[in-house]
Structure 1
């Protein structure tokens, strides 16, 4: 990358490249990402592309390295290519700044903004235990997710960049969707204002 142009390291060819902000809707399982995502996509149709990260969770990308860098890199490359249409991406999935920020593909984005849906751990545990057995939510896996939830609640706002939090413990779906929609619009308006100045 050279400013807003993509530069081939072999031949030096330069091409225009949109570096838009990426919006990551994150949080633990059962906090509401997969429920909010489809409704958000409907409300923001034509303005942003809302993607569910688990669609790409295939065997070829299940590397054993912490943070799953091959999986994360693939998502960043896909989002960057979608950005070339001029439409920003909202990526719904369990991701945090330490997993995206160090990757080489991070250069494709002007910024990455994070909003985590979180909830009280006892509520999350009840939601996860109600899931069908084929989804594999045994007690050790639930405990791991609750630990992630508590870590986000405690440390998310102090990460670099910070993770904004929204607690869905007792919030109706419509209110959660409205909050996330306002967050998306605010982030994009701020980005448009920054690029104009």
Structure 2
């Protein structure tokens, strides 16, 4: 079994996969297939907060234990839709992570995502839970980091303002989301300190869920 949306019994492709008692159940032929249902870890937060800095260090530290992936690698034209939350893009990532999980290694996904963009998708059923750690920063620090990025990345003042708004929203609402999002402020944190915190978070989640 590779793509968990495709039934290994009859080959039907489920629009909304069904999981019962830890088994994938085909709505057409009722075939039941075991699969690894691991937690997904989302390292999220606004652009400029440190995901691209912490992610490579996490990949080095967690080598052999988890797979650390950068969300933007799949941000292609075919997945850029106009629907709020970009569900085709999010669904593709969940399918990819679920397939990787069948190797027994949990996925840490680095990219901007919040619970409402994952939790209601059909592919969410492939995971025991999704855990979120958001890197955030004080607005002046975040804006300064974005302004020194290369021109090709397109960080004009209007786009920076949008990201500052998201940063403020996340800092304000993280604890009210379902599930809640943990926060770590990188304003004065060194790369090593931020990576230490993210690594401890990953290991704590995997130990608590029995996924390591």
Query: Normalising by the residue count of structure 1, what TM-score does the alignment of the two structures yield?
Result: 0.96
Deviation for aligned residue 1:103: 0.6
For 1:118 and 1:80, locate their aligned partners in 2 and report how far apart those are by CA, in whole Å: 27
2:168 equivalent to 1:145: no
Question: Counterpart in 2 of 1:97?
Answer: 115
- Structure with the larger helix share: 1
**Deviation per residue, 1:101-153 (Å, 9 max, x gap):** 11111111000000000000110000000011111001110000000000000
For 1:32 and 1:180, locate their aligned partners in 2 and report how far apart those are by CA, in whole Å: 11
2:33 equivalent to 1:8: no
* Structure 1 segments unaligned to the other structure (5+ residues): none
Question: Counterpart in 2 of 1:25?
Answer: 43
* Structure 2 segments unaligned to the other structure (5+ residues): 1-18
**Deviation per residue, 1:148-169 (Å, 9 max, x gap):** 0000000011111000000000
Q: How many residues matched?
A: 193
Comparing 74-83 with 7-16, greater Cα deviation is found at 7-16
Question: Counterpart in 2 of 1:73?
Answer: 91
Question: Counterpart in 2 of 1:154?
Answer: 172
2:55 equivalent to 1:37: yes
For 2:152 and 2:122, locate their aligned partners in 1 and report how far apart those are by CA, in whole Å: 36
Question: Counterpart in 2 of 1:183?
Answer: 201
Question: Counterpart in 1 of 2:183?
Answer: 165
Deviation for aligned residue 1:2: 1.3
For 2:96 and 2:21, locate their aligned partners in 1 and report how far apart those are by CA, in whole Å: 20
Which 4+ residue blocks in structure 1 deviate beyond 2 angstroms? none
Question: Counterpart in 2 of 1:117?
Answer: 135
